[in-house]
Amino acid sequence: MSGALSDRALDAFSRAFGGAPDFVARAPGRVNLIGEHTDYNEDIVLPLAISVETRIAARARRDGVVRLAAADYGGALDEFRLAAPIDSSAHLWANYVRGVIDGMRRAGFDFTGADLAIAGDIPQGAGLSSSASLEVATAVAVARLAGDAAPDMTALARIAQAAECDFVGCKCGIMDQLVSACGVEGAALLIDCRSLAFRPVLVPEDLAIMIVHSGVIHGHVEGEYNERRRQCEEAASALGVAKLREADEAILARGERRLDPTAFRRARHVITENRRTFEAAEALAKNSLRRLGRLMRESHQSMRDDFEITTPDIDRLAALMNAVLGENGGARMTGGGFGGAVVAIAPRPTVANLAREVSAGYRRPDGKPTEVIIQRPAAGGSCV
């Protein structure tokens, strides 16, 4: 698919701007195995980069103008001058690019303009970080255009995250951008979202990652996602800690009377999810599939009951997948919630049967055929 995706970016570039680009930048989407809504609490997460991605065909300009073409929006075009202020209420998809470029220039990158044609194959609204992929691919392209062929990828991830928070309005954590920038082929990343230190956790070759889009499109730029972050901050304050990462189950039990029931449930999810994530990384490293599957099921239950970010369709899909898997793996919703996808980890020989059972037993609410994506961990952002 990557070759075809580059071809789409190149075709969009030729149609919009004529000629050929200087290079093509890429950045992957991601799926989070476990550790949901813990990143902005500065906790631990266990995501991996996946092979669906964003590609940007790029050519330098020297006149302070940026021209954009989006292959996935019917060749939609946008143009702006670097000196012009960013209107965060307009431009929609282009604001991801505008925000990253602004952040890169503030960070000192000598960027003087570009023609950029964008193509991607990440299912949008599936909770697979199509936005972070676009942001990181933009940052990689800008760095290369500014003469930095080997940038600090963690720094690029920080800039990409700030763009989503400041110019798009989603108060996200760092996980999506960091794994898109720094993903390791064949491994998940156990990320400490406070220090941004991470270590690869190899995914055994005999295991497969399965992603199934529920057909429920999520949109958490505003509203519920940001509300969950606010609730976590209020719970941390009531418990006397700066972030919920500093609390454990004993602190939560002692402070329960200081929390309203909703805040207590939100905090309980984050605190127990952090423990589950550490245990899941250990289980994955040891190829202890039964233990890993149990932790994934517990995570889904916590998201459903305590954090309240699943939907009835998501719950039905996860229940079906877990019933088919039994103790031979596990499934849970992945991503910010309120729709999106379910991720499962299972022995490679069982994947075909699981896919058949899901296709036969789950009906998407949008009427589209159930789409099953089989993945192995991919590498982070780069130029190709």
Domains of the chain by residue range: 2-201, 203-375
List of the chain residues with pLDDT < 50:
221
The first and second tokens of residue 369, run together, are: 């055929």
Q: At what angle do helices 261-285 and 289-302 cross, to 10 degrees?
A: 160
Q: Is the pTM of this model over 0.85?
A: yes
pLDDT score recorded for residue 276? 98
Q: Is residue 121 annotated as a catalytic residue, yes or no?
A: no
pLDDT score recorded for residue 221? 45
Which of 78, 176, 306, 313 is labelled catalytic? 176
CATH for 2-201, options being 1.10.287.70, 3.20.20.70, 3.30.230.10, 3.90.1570.10: 3.30.230.10
Give the CATH superfamily of 203-375: GHMP kinase, C-terminal domain (3.30.70.890)
